[in-house]
A and B are shown apart, each in its own frame.
Chain A
Amino acid sequence: MEYVNPLTGFRVDGRRPNEAWLTLHGLGIAQMRQLKGEVGVVARADGSALFEMGNTRVIAAVYGPREVQNKGQQVNSKEALVRCEYRMADFSTGDRRRKPKGDRRSTEISLVIRQTMEASILTHLMPRSQIDIFVQVLQADGGTRAACINAATLALADAGIPMRDIVTSCSAGYLCSTPLLDLNYIEDSAGGPDVTVGILAKMDKVTLLQMDAKLPMDTFETVMELAIEGCKAIANYIREVLLENTKRLECQRG
């Protein structure tokens, strides 16, 4: 299957891989799927957000900081305990199947999200407390990991939890000798390499880096650079959403 049309240069969903690589620096989110972020979608949570990357759609809710519920889990009483659970809705994938809760994939992604968010939360400011991050995938179309991290960032910011920096994540791949940003499900399951990068946007530090399949060193550099550019574009968007939300709150306060 042609993932990049040799004649038109379009990707399977009509995005342009090559031109946008140039415009990305100037215009921002050209090559990425459409982003949508919404804050405060779960009324009773302390912080919540909806994040969409094209057809991938996730909801994140944050409860806390609150008292540690299970004292046995508290490792260090000087720092907040961060917990995370990732769950996929039964209807989120194309073919419906009921998966048992806590399968290996979910556990792994929960762990990845937890570690990534823990890196940016100022845990030492909230000793003896617990922060729960729950991520629910409503629609999965590739890049759920990245979308979950972005949603979690928004939700944590909505909950007013002190953070070092905004963490954003984006995936990139390499198919038909073209580096591609933000893979969708079809491109993701094509068998090519899938690089997921998470960065602390302002500090310009990589907190998450995952790759499957092999890739020559120089190509990897290009792909990773592309993913980092994607992360920065998302960070800009997330900042906009948060600013918009703050303005709205200020308006409401009068």
Chain B
Amino acid sequence: MRQSAPGFQRNGPLDSTGLPRYPSLRPPPPARISIPRAAVLSSCCFRLRYAPAAPSTMVGLSEGEKHFIRGGIAQDLRTDGRRRLQFRAISVETGVILQANGSARVRLGATEVIATVKAELGKPSILHPDKGKVSIFVDCSPTAAPMFEGRGSEEFSAELSVALQRCLLGGKSGAGAAIDLSSLIVIDGKVCWDLYIDGLVVSSDGNLLDALAAAIKVALSDTGIPKVNVSLSATTDEEPEVDVSDEEFLQFDTSSVPVIVTLMKVGKHYIVDAASEEESQMSSAVSVSVNRHGQICGLIKRGGAGLDPTVIFDMISVAKHVSQQFISVLDSEILAAEAAR
């Protein structure tokens, strides 16, 4: 013991890497290229503003694999055998969460999301006394990817929530919303329905935004809002008595709820419904939300690379075309899911 003690002191205690714990005794770190502070700062801002569609760090691809994916897209034959504008097989299930007023599970290949709609009685805002409130929250479960553990999913979840809110709920006034907000009113200025739409990403293999939007569309079509009987008291100051029915439910008109189609640009071409390996190769992406009548309800451009305006217009028209097929597939899946229940 005595002999080892001085040596121990000289070298310092070793940590698990077998290196001395004191920084001064460690071998010097590998030479680092110094980056001007301003450059570091701007690259940080860049990353925050244009967060990629899916965290690309989770796919580790070799140069050969990257080349293979890009080459396949250029030849209109993707790694899973699809064409550029072809979706993966979609499967839809409704009524999966019993506590919610409406719920749906949507699977797009290996991507799986659950959307639920919960209705609660609340008070309309003072600015819009004739309208109900709808809010969308998305959570990415760590079961989908280890990087969503702890607070790791917050930034990405918030990005998805905001994108969905923008595409489905329109502006702050409620104009252009997928759901007619005035249908949520029970008593003007006093009682309205608050719809809480929660999305949960259970398994992630790319194209989460489109899957979530589709799941929300299905969940809304599954939603039944209890019928409310109001007995207005004589004095208007009092809280109105509201009797919520257990048996009668009202359905929404969900025909105008849009779907989101994300076109990802890889090389010179763009693809729909990218898997996460393909997503990691994209240079930029345009998410277009289109309703049944072919009207564009929202648009988000993501990714760092710039796009030529004509390319964007081209992408929008392609998205419009693809979305109509997607809506009809989704509609038939909704009917099948309702029949299966």
Contact = CB atoms under 8 A, between A and B. Distances in A.
Nearest to B148: A134
A138 B150 contact: no
A161 B242 CA distance: 55
Interface string A112-147: 000000000000000000001011101100000000
A43 B16 CA distance: 34
B203 interface: yes
Interface stretch (B76-84, B95-103, B221-229): B95-103
B162 interface: no
A44 B202 contact: no
Interface stretch (B61-69, B135-143, B184-192, B247-255): B135-143
A139 B198 contact: no
Contacts, number: 92
A45 to B, nearest CB: 7
Interface string B108-132: 0110101010101000000000000
B98 A85 contact: no
A44 B149 contact: no
B237 to A, nearest CB: 28
B2 interface: no
A94 B99 contact: yes
Contact of B204 (A44, A59, A101): A44
Interface in A79-134: 85, 87, 89-94, 96, 98, 101-102, 132, 134
B116 A91 contact: yes
Interface residue tally on A, bucketed by range: 20 to 34
Contact of B100 (A48, A60, A91, A136): A91
Indicate the size class of the contact surface on chain B: 20 to 34
Nearest to A83: B149
A139 B97 contact: yes
Interface in B145-175: 145-146, 149-151, 154
B142 A85 contact: yes
A96 B196 contact: yes
A55 B205 CA distance: 28
Interface centre among B99, B110, B112, B205 (most CB of A within 10 A): B99
Nearest to A60: B143
Given A44-B110, A132-B149, A92 B137 contact: no
B110 A43 contact: yes
A74 B16 CA distance: 8
A77 interface: yes
B106 interface: no
B204 A87 contact: no
A67 B150 CA distance: 19
A226 B109 CA distance: 43
A136 B144 CA distance: 10
Interface string A51-90: 0000100011101000001010010010000000101011
B150 A139 contact: no
B42 interface: no
Contacts of A87: 141-142
A242 interface: no
B202 A134 contact: no
A215 B102 CA distance: 41
Contacts of A139: 97-99
A102 B203 contact: no
A55 B141 CA distance: 20
Contact of B150 (A43, A85, A89): A85
A139 B97 CA distance: 7
A35 interface: no
Given A44-B110, A44-B204, A136-B141, A89 B99 contact: no
Contacts of A60: 143
A155 to B, nearest CB: 9
Contacts of B109: 43
A96 B118 contact: yes
B310 interface: no
Contact of B200 (A55, A89, A93): A89
Contacts of A91: 97, 99-100, 103, 116, 118, 198, 200
Given A44-B205, A77-B16, A138-B114, A93 B99 contact: yes
Interface of B: 16-17, 97-100, 103, 109-110, 112, 114, 116, 118, 120, 137, 139, 141-146, 149-151, 154, 196, 198, 200, 202-205
11 contacts: A42-B112, A42-B143, A44-B205, A45-B203, A61-B144, A90-B137, A91-B103, A94-B99, A101-B151, A134-B149, A136-B143
The 5 closest A-B pairs by CB, nearest first: A43-B110, A61-B143, A134-B142, A91-B116, A42-B203
Given A45-B143, A85-B149, A136-B202, 6 more contacts: A41-B203, A42-B143, A43-B112, A43-B203, A132-B149, A136-B200
